[in-house]
């Protein structure tokens, strides 16, 4: 994973629009959040290989980045993205890592299932 | 666990669950002639650690962790690794009867003298608790005189209060070479500062942090 290049990411967002895509969207504090610090509220959610289609998408911010994808009936939104996979030609693989390197958010789009 | 030629079945949900709490005990058992099967339910696909800086991604993590698991098993000397193909974080949502049945069939095939898993309810991660519960369910359904001994790991904050002190406190200092190799095999996972610190550990620190392993013997209601 490399630090996000927003120009490259925007190009991929544009390339993937107006077609059915499999999405992996995730946010997590980690299963050990409350075990390590009882004041923390552990929360995690993910959805894998749901089908979506968007007509317009944008990466915004100066890093960590936000991504919004406008769909026919709603939105996909993700904040806190820091890294992407620069070697992916057909898929958009993005994640946000905290200061300890742990994944905290992920947004992935692909024409084929993950 | 001190007798030779034991057959041990370890049932845990994630690659690396074997490393911190168990690797020394298993390395010692193998050294004493035991045959160890490790049934690992998932590939830890949803782990948050991706290496520092991140060299893994959600997409590549399963394959990376599979290789790490295989390397860890080689370091310990585990002879039989079985990856059961469940998905990280979902063990408690599987059909519990089917899951217990699958584990029961592994136990029936191997007829171990000892099974090692997590103590259900005291192992913090929902996958740990669900795996332990499925193992206990599978073994509970066996006739009492046919059941293997079950040793459990547990580390929730209330474990000593509820379960008392561990039944087994194993000094694994002579097997720290294998144990540290097992831990380090999980290289995407164990650079995390809260686990191994940001500086190389001294020998004394390694012994005090990793030299002892703790187990509670599961007591079945008849």
Computed on alpha carbons and rounded to an integer, the radius of gyration of chain B in Å comes to 17
What fold is seen in the domain B7-217?
Rossmann fold (3.40.50)
Which residue range(s) make up the domain with A59?
A: 2-110
CB contact under 8 A, B54 and A95: yes
Task: Give burial (CB, 10 Å; 0-12/13-18/19+) of A62.
Answer: exposed
From the list B38, B120, B44, the residue with the least C-alpha distance to B82 is B38
In the structure, what pLDDT confidence band is assigned to residue A100 with cuts at 50, 70 and 90?
confident
- pLDDT digits 0-9 by tens, B196-211: 556 777 888 888 889 9
- Cα–Cα distance for residue pair B39/B115, rounded to 1 Å: 11
Confidence class of residue A54 from pLDDT cuts 50, 70 and 90?
Answer: very high
Interface contact flag, B55 A1, Cβ < 8 Å: yes
- Which of the listed ranges B90-94, B101-105, B205-209 does the model predict with the highest average pLDDT? B101-105
Q: Does A102 contact B53 at a Cβ distance shorter than 8 Å? A: no
Domain count, chain A: 1
Could A106 and B126 be called an inter-chain contact, meaning their C-beta atoms sit closer than 8 Å? no
SS3 B24: helix
What DSSP line would sit under A61-75, residue for residue? SSSSEEEEEEESS-E
- Measured between alpha carbons, how far is A95 from A15 in angstroms, rounded to an integer? 19
Q: Is B59's CB within 8 Å of A85's CB?
A: yes
Residue of chain A with shortest Cα separation from B157:
A35
Between residues A97 and B193, which one has the greater pLDDT? A97
- Residue ranges of chain A whose CB lies within 8 Å of a chain B CB: 1, 24, 26, 28, 30-32, 35-36, 38, 44, 46, 83, 85, 91, 93, 95, 97, 100-104, 106, 108, 114
Q: Say which residues have a Cβ less than 8 Å from residue A6's Cβ, sequence separation at least 6.
A: A59, A63, A65
- Please report, for the domain that includes residue A93, its CATH number: 2.70.180.10
Q: What ipTM does the predicted assembly reach?
A: 0.80
Task: Compare all CA atoms of chain B with the CA of A100 and give the residue at the minimum distance.
Answer: B192
Indicate the range of A8-17, A35-44, B12-21, B26-35 predicted with least confidence.
Answer: A35-44
Domain positions in chain B: 7-217
The chain B residue lying nearest A36, using CA atoms, is B194
């Amino acid at each position: 994973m490399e630090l996000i290049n927003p120009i490259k990411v925007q190009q991929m967002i544009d390339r993937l629009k107006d077609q059915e895509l499999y999405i992996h969207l995730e946010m997590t504090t980690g299963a050990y959040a409350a075990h390590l610090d009882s004041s923390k509220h552990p929360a995690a959610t993910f959805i894998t290989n749901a089908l979506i289609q968007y007509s317009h998408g944008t990466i915004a911010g100066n890093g960590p980045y936000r991504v919004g994808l406008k769909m026919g009936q709603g939105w996909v939104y993700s904040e806190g993205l820091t890294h992407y996979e620069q070697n992916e030609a057909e898929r958009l693989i993005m994640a946000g890592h905290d200061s300890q390197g742990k994944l905290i958010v992920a947004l992935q789009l692909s024409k084929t299932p993950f | 666990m001190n007798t030779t030629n034991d057959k041990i079945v370890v049932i845990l949900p994630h690659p690396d669950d074997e490393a911190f709490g168990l690797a020394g005990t298993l390395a010692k058992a193998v050294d004493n002639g035991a045959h160890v099967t490790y049934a690992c339910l998932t590939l830890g696909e949803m782990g948050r650690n991706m290496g520092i800086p991140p060299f893994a991604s959600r997409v590549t993590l399963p394959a990376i962790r599979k290789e790490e698991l295989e390397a860890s098993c080689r370091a310990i000397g585990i002879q039989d690794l079985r990856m059961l193909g469940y998905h990280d974080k979902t063990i408690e949502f599987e059909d519990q009867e089917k899951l217990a049945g699958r584990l029961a069939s592994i136990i029936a095939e191997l007829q171990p003298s000892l099974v090692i898993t997590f103590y259900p309810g005291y192992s913090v991660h929902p996958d740990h608790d669900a795996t332990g519960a499925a193992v206990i369910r599978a073994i509970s359904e066996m006739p009492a005189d046919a059941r293997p001994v079950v040793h459990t790991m547990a580390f929730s904050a209330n474990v000593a209060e509820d379960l008392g002190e561990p039944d087994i406190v194993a000094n694994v200092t002579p097997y720290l070479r294998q144990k540290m190799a097992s831990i380090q095999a999980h290289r995407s996972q164990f650079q995390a500062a809260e686990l191994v610190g940001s500086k190389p550990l001294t020998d004394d620190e390694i012994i005090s942090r990793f030299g002892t392993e703790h187990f509670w013997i599961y007591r079945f209601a008849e």
